[in-house]
Amino acid sequence: MSTTGSVTTEGLTKSFGGVRAVDGASVAFHDGEINALIGPNGSGKTTFFNCVTGMIRPDAGTVAYAGRDVTGLAPHRIARSGIGRSFQLCRVFPRLTVLENVLVAVQPHGLLQRLRGMRNPDDVARARELLARVGIDHLEHAEARDISYGQQKLLELAGVLMGDPHTIMLDEPAGGVNPALVDRIADLVRELNAEGRTFIIVEHNMELVMGLSDHVVVFDRGRPIAQGTPAVVQDDPQVLEAYLGV
């Protein structure tokens, strides 16, 4: 695992056309904790995620990770610096096998290293271990498009873990999955957090967010309007207004 560190943004801004999806957001996530990022639909959570992970270049502001400025770095560099992420609605490589999906994340330094076989015994063993951990090791030879949506969600998590990130950003991990699987994902997050991994989770399932997270950041119109422990945030009048529109 890479060095400890937390994600911090200063005045992060990103507009699409005339809409400021993220509007001067300054947020400091807590290292070693399970952070949640919540907010009404269209409040800029996913755009914020994409700015932090390099998928989108912000118009203004900075992103720092582990004390280093990573603003505008290519996504693979940010991934290498220790931030792994999942995607909203779950993305896997449909025509690769379950095992290959996980092995993709093995991208060491140096061209010669990359020309080595992907089915290196050590890597395969570790990939199988991760697949077993999320509970889909029996499917390793199936193509990812042939497994269920819930299994794809678990596969995506296993792929992220293969990169051994210190910080894991999950975009709606409980979206569209059955309650039993939500519990399983929550357990996995707790376990991984206990091992020292930091989480930043975008999620609409309030029960999950309040039960799981140590620190909650509430977004509205592209910027944080409240943050604190779940109990504090729940009673914040601004949060109630943003959610209920009163």
Partner 1 sequence: MPNASSATRPSGPTPARVLRIGGLLALAAVVLLFPSLAPDPFILSVGVVILSYAVLATSWNLVGGFTGYISLGHAAYSGLGGYATALLILRSGLNPWLALLVGALIVALIAIPVGIASLRVRGASFVIVSIALVLILQLTFQSWHTFTGGSGGLRVPRPFGPDVLRPEQHERFFYLHAVLLALALLTWWLIERSRLGAGLKAIREDEDKAQALGVPTFAYKLIALVTSAFFTALGGGLYALWFGYLDPIFQFSILVGTYMVLMSLLGGVRSLFGPLLGAVVVGYAVEVFKSQYGDTQFHLVATGILLGLVVLFMPDGVIPAITSFLNRRRRAASIREVTAEELARQREEAAR
For residues 185 to 214, the per-residue mask of contacts with partner 1, x marking binding by CB under 8 A and - elsewhere, is: ------------------------------
Closest approach of partner 1 to the CB of residue 78, in Å = 8
Q: How far is CA 159 from the centre of its chain?
A: 12
Cα(126)–Cα(131) distance, integer angstroms: 9
Structure tokens at 126: 């570790």
- Long-range contact pairs involving 180-188 (C-beta distance under 8 Å, separation at least 24): 181/150, 181/153, 181/154, 182/208, 184/135, 184/154, 185/153, 185/154, 185/157, 186/211, 186/212, 188/133, 188/134, 188/157
Least distance to partner 1 from the beta carbon of 160, Å?
7
Beta carbons of 225 and 27 less than 8 angstroms apart: no
Region near partner 1 per CB under 8 A, out of 24-32, 65-73, 94-102, 235-243: 94-102
**Closest separation in Å from C-beta 126 to partner 1:** 14
Q: How far is the CB of 141 from partner 1 (least distance, A)?
A: 4
Among the listed ranges 35-43, 88-96, 209-217, 222-230, the one in contact with partner 1 (CB under 8 A) is 88-96
146 binds partner 1 (CB under 8 A): yes
Binding segment for partner 1 (CB under 8 A), chosen from 9-17, 38-46, 92-100, 192-200, is 92-100
Determine the length of the chain: 246
Cβ-contact 124, 73 below 8 angstroms: no
Smallest gap from Cβ 210 to partner 1, in A, equals: 23
Q: What is the DSSP letter of 174?
A: T
Any contact of residue 230 with partner 1 (CB under 8 A)? no
Q: Which amino acid is at 6?
A: S
Q: Is 129 in the site for partner 1 (CB under 8 A)?
A: no
Q: Using CB under 8 A as the criterion, which residues of the chain lie in contact with partner 1 when the complex forms?
A: 53-55, 74-76, 79-80, 84-85, 87, 91-96, 100, 103-108, 113-119, 137-142, 146, 148, 159-160, 162-163, 180
